[in-house]
A = this chain, B = another copy of it.
Amino acid sequence: MPGEPAEKKQLVHHVFFWLKNPDSVADRDKLVEGVKTLAKIESIRKLHVGVLASTEKRDVVDTSWAVSELMFFDNLEGQAVYQSHPIHLEFIKNYSHLWSKVVVYDAAEA
């Protein structure tokens, strides 16, 4: 079939945010609210907005972040559409004052 490869070889975009005020639940919740606005971007196939899970604390587990944004795209073009999308730019404008650090992992299906 022509067109996009549907479920195959999806691209994972996982972003972790550290808050300027790490102890502020209000700031965390506000950022969660902000990340959820991204769901309207049409090239995002799945959006998972996360906060720290209460799994066992082990040395290898990074628990220093506050909010995560996990997205699936069909391909690199889908991710590019997202990066320059007005809703994404609006999100950065309205919520970037809340975070001190961002780390992004972009993974292609192996």
Contact = CB atoms under 8 A, between A and B. Distances in A.
Interface of A: 10-14, 16, 32, 35-36, 48-56, 58, 60-63, 65, 67-68, 70, 76, 79-80, 83, 102-110
Contacts of A109: 48-50
A105 B49 contact: no
Q: Is the interface of A mostly helix, strand, loop or mixed?
A: strand
A76 B65 CA distance: 19
Contacts of A48: 10, 12, 107, 109
- The 4 A-B residue pairs with the shortest CB-CB distance in the complex, in nearest-first order: A50-B107, A53-B106, A53-B108, A55-B106
A51 B107 contact: yes
Contacts of A104: 58, 60-62
B110 A61 contact: no
B103 A68 contact: no
A18 B109 CA distance: 17
